[in-house]
Structure 1
Amino acid sequence: MLQQKSKLAHFFKSASVIKILPIALLIIAIFNSYFIVNEGHVGVVKRFGEAKDQQNPGLHFKIPFIETVEMIEVRTRKNAEKMASSTKEQMPVTVEVSVNWTVNKEAALDLFKRYGGLTQFEQRILDPRFRSATKDTIPQFEAEQLIQDRASAIQGIEHRLAEEMEGFPVIVDNIQIENIILPQKYINSIEIKQTEKNLAAAEEHKLERQRLEALRAVNTADARAKGILKVAEAEAQSILLKGKAEAQAIEAKAKALKNNPLIVKLTEAQAWDGRLPMTMMGESVMPIMDIRNANESN
């Protein structure tokens, strides 16, 4: 009797599980029938492990239990490397470099098919080529050049890496040399040399300033002398013009008197003070005597 009851309970229990199982599978299928791609990513849809297509940010649907989704970041990523190398004069140097790179959004599916994801691409493709480009470029520069002209070294690495990464579905840009570590003895010698250069530059600046001040003083004196000369020339020219004007006036007056005797008589009349002359001479040889005194005595 107890055995029959136990079998009956087991039957009902199995029946309940059978009824619940489809419902559970349906719920799981519903939750696995859609996916969301966040901004800055691309969703690569795989069907039975084979990459089929890619989806842009937003809500999308997939076949439950058959399709899965891998997210590929298409925002700018940064890789940093610290590596030992040597300068052109065979001096040991350690450089810390970084590179920014971005997956070409339209080629995310191709990248996943060829390399399996971003981590694999970095480890197998980008990082080795980045290290190679850096180690090939740094020995082309002397230590002092690396410190004073870091931009040229960066351009060299960029050019070499661009050649190495040609044809890959990524964009590589903004390479930076974050730090350059040289032997301490060399750093000390550079500091001393730079100090000497700064002192020499300061002295040269001082001499140049003195030269400019002297030149300014000479220019000022020259301008003042030219000003005085201009004034003197103007005064001389004024006197000359005044003299010419007076001479021309006299000459004109003389010509007028010569050509018109009436003007001479008019001038004499204007100059007469109303008194008769005390002695007059005629055309004869007989003198004309002054008789005013005789009249006064009579």
Structure 2
Amino acid sequence: MNTKGIAFIVSGIFAFLVILTLSFGSWYQVDQGERGVLLENGRLLRVEDPGLGFKIPVIESVRFVSVRDQNVVMNLEAYSYDQQPASMQVSVTYSVPADRVADLYSEYGTLSNLQTRVIERRTPDAVKNAFGKYTAVRAIQEREKLGLDATQAVIQSMRDAPVQIVGVQIEEVGFSSAYEHSIEQRMLAQVQIETTRQQKETAAINAEIKVVNATADADARRQEYQAQADGIRLKGEAEAAAIKARAQALSENTNLVSLIAVERWDGVLPSTQVPGSALPFIGIK
């Protein structure tokens, strides 16, 4: 094979590679959860949504930016409102809104640059300011509220950046051993005070229950005695009324005595007789 033939073959292979490269370089694919930044010689043309797209080889290029949630963890040192030093681990979850991808690329180029120049620089000051409004005891007791306040502080600090703060978690807060021991002792004392207070309230309630029960028993006895007294009084009044009625009947009817005597006579004549009387004396029993 002569030189001309070899040159033709090489030219053919080169042309095929060029065509192949241009063919594969004329399309691109944007995954779900990403956006494609289409550039023309480095100038931003537009942001492409997920799917298949086409571009001019060599002249146009595509940079991919994730719009999924990202997370960064930072270890911070801060002071509480009562000047107690604390160490904490802060986790920030963020994402880039799809409509801010162009701003992100124009200002920072990549997510990594955004995280380094914005997230990691502004978050510490925002969290420290939020933490500084809490005493050490409140920071421990109100961890959830502290997290919400820290989240709002970080969101406020990022208001001009092409980023959305999803959440801020203060995962660990540690104070000095001596201070944590003092907090523990203070809480134990508070628990003891609360226990004593509850015991006093329980004793007072029990005393009130005893008073109520004693009053109820006394009222019951009083009512029982009153009933007995009323019964005796009514019985006496009835007997007195009967005697009075009997006496009145006797006074009004003198023959009633003789009638009663006859009704009670057993038919046996008495062994004694009142002198000068016509009939034997019948005793009334």
Residues 1:131 and 2:120 aligned together: no
Which shifted more, 49-58 or 199-208? Answer: 199-208
Q: 1:122 aligns with which of 115, 118, 127?
A: 115
Task: Give me the whole-angstrom Cα distance separating, in 2, the residues matched to 1:288 and 1:146.
Answer: 123
Q: Deviations over 1:176-197 (max 9, x none)?
A: 2334455xxxx23224423432
Task: Give me the whole-angstrom Cα distance separating, in 2, the residues matched to 1:256 and 1:38.
Answer: 120
Residues 1:82 and 2:71 aligned together: no
**Identity over aligned residues, as a percent?**
22
Report deviation, 1:101.
1.0
Aligned to 1:197: 186
CA RMSD, aligned part only?
4.3
* Maintained 8 Å contact 2:137/2:183: no
Aligned to 1:39: 32
Report deviation, 1:78.
1.3
Counting only pairs closer than 5 Å after superposition, residues 23-62 of structure 1 correspond to structure 2 as 23-62=16-55
Q: Check 1:275–1:137 CA distance in 2 against 1; reply closer, same or farther (3 A cut).
A: closer
- TM value normalised by structure 1: 0.69
Task: Give me the whole-angstrom Cα distance separating, in 2, the residues matched to 1:217 and 1:91.
Answer: 45
Q: Check 1:255–1:195 CA distance in 2 against 1; reply closer, same or farther (3 A cut).
A: same
Report deviation, 1:70.
1.3
Q: Check 1:216–1:150 CA distance in 2 against 1; reply closer, same or farther (3 A cut).
A: closer
Q: Deviations over 1:94-150 (max 9, x none)?
A: 443231111112222232223222122222333222233234445555555545555
Q: Deviations over 1:23-52 (max 9, x none)?
A: 333322332233222232222222222222
Aligned to 1:283: none
Q: 3-state DSSP class of the match of 2:159?
A: coil
Task: Give me the whole-angstrom Cα distance separating, in 1, the residues matched to 2:281 and 2:136.
Answer: 127
- TM value normalised by structure 2: 0.71
Q: 2:200 aligns with which of 211, 215, 220?
A: 211
What residue ranges of structure 1 are gaps of 5+ in the alignment? 1-7, 279-286, 294-298
What residue ranges of structure 2 are gaps of 5+ in the alignment? 268-275
Residues 1:160 and 2:153 aligned together: yes
Residues 1:177 and 2:170 aligned together: yes
Which shifted more, 80-89 or 117-126? Answer: 80-89
Q: Check 1:273–1:194 CA distance in 2 against 1; reply closer, same or farther (3 A cut).
A: farther
